[in-house]
Amino acid sequence: MHTLKLFVFIALGFVAMNACVPTRQFQELKQKNETTVHERDSLKSTNESLTVQNTEMEAELEELQKRFTQMASQQSGLKDSAAFYKKQFKVYKTMYNDLSNTQSTVEKGRDEETRKLLAELQVTKEDLQVREDELRELEDNLMAKQLALEERDEILLALDASLNQKKRELEAQSRRMSELENILHSKDSAVFALKSKITDALLGFENKGLTIQQRNGKVYVTMDEKLLFKSGQWDVDPKGQQAIKQIAGVLEQNKDINIVVEGHTDDVPMRGSGEIKDNWDLSVKRATSIVKILLQNSSMDPKRVSAAGRGPYFPIDTAKTAEARAKNRRTEIILTPKLDELFQILENN
């Protein structure tokens, strides 16, 4: 008679969720400003992408938790079945032992009764074998369920760690984008305030060849040639000097503003044999003249100021008319807030 052994392994897993001279300086500032705006847009896009990933991972995690709960319920049912078959096994085993004990006594009895008892004994043996096979199969199923639950537990832990990492990245990106947006907002506010101050200082020059505009985070003070210079000259007229000095007074008080002075001419070739050879020379000389007046009798740091000659290459109006050429003969003072704090954030990240 075979000795039967019953092993029932039940394990439950728990899941834990868990220009001429310093034109290059102006171009660098312009490039950095454009980089800042692009960086902000990129961060917004990254923020939206991380938010979508976060939502998808949370949905997947919730689905795995539901599956885990179902598997745990199934395992509990298998445990109950195992206990039931264990009791049945003990009953049949007892019956088998009883029959075995009485076998010796009935061997002396009638042959027909002996054959009947032996047949019952055989049936009992076969039934016990079937029960034993069922218990072994149940044990294998329980072991498979346990391994599956352990695998699910590892997956859930990995997903939880990944989700937490994504959340931390998203929070860091959000903080960085918020800092950038605050700085850009402060810069825009400073530009608007600067434009208002410049406008107030130059009220007497409105409609007299001077305009003030705010574009791309900068303030542009545009002065026509007739306000500043005689044709082909670079010495500034008294009225133009007065306007420039009033601008200088505002800029002297706003130390966080960088200044670029650009000289522009029309496209009519200039033929000279003296110091000025062409329009480009003239635009540079005019820009330098403006810079010198800005710094004259001023405490303004010269490092803040750049002069650039653009010649005829950046016209406002490309028409070949006297009116268009008059528009193009101009000097622009371009005012840009310093973005040191913003650039420091970008470099640190």
Structural domain spans, the chain = 36-188, 192-348
Give the residues across from 311 on adjacent strands. Answer: 264
The full DSSP string for 207-223 is TTTEEEEEETTEEEEEE
The CATH code of domain 36-188 reads 1.10.287.1490
7-57 pLDDT per residue, tens = 434 333 433 334 444 577 767 777 877 887 787 888 888 888 888 888 888
Q: State residue 216's pLDDT score.
A: 86
Mark out the alpha helices in the chain (DSSP H runs).
23-106, 111-201, 225-228, 238-253, 279-295, 322-328, 340-348
Q: Comparing 36-188 with 192-348, is the CATH topology the same?
A: no
Give yes or no for a contact between 239 and 252, defined as CB atoms under 8 angstroms apart: no
Residue 342 has pLDDT above 80, yes or no: no
195-241 pLDDT per residue, tens = 778 777 676 676 778 899 988 889 999 999 999 999 889 999 999 99
Helix, strand or coil for residue 330?
A: strand
What percent of the chain has pLDDT above 90? 27
**330-337: strand order across its sheet:** 210-215, 218-224, 330-337, 257-264, 305-311
49-67 pLDDT per residue, tens = 888 888 888 888 888 788 8
Classify residue 311 as left (phi > 0), alpha (psi -120 to 50) or beta. left
Give yes or no for a contact between 188 and 199, defined as CB atoms under 8 angstroms apart: no
Residue 150 has pLDDT above 70, yes or no: yes
Specify the amino acid at residue 102: T
Average pLDDT over residues 326-334: 95
Q: What is the pTM of this model?
A: 0.50
Residue 312 has pLDDT above 90, yes or no: yes
Homologous superfamily of the 192-348 domain (CATH):
OmpA-like domain (3.30.1330.60)
Q: State residue 79's pLDDT score.
A: 80
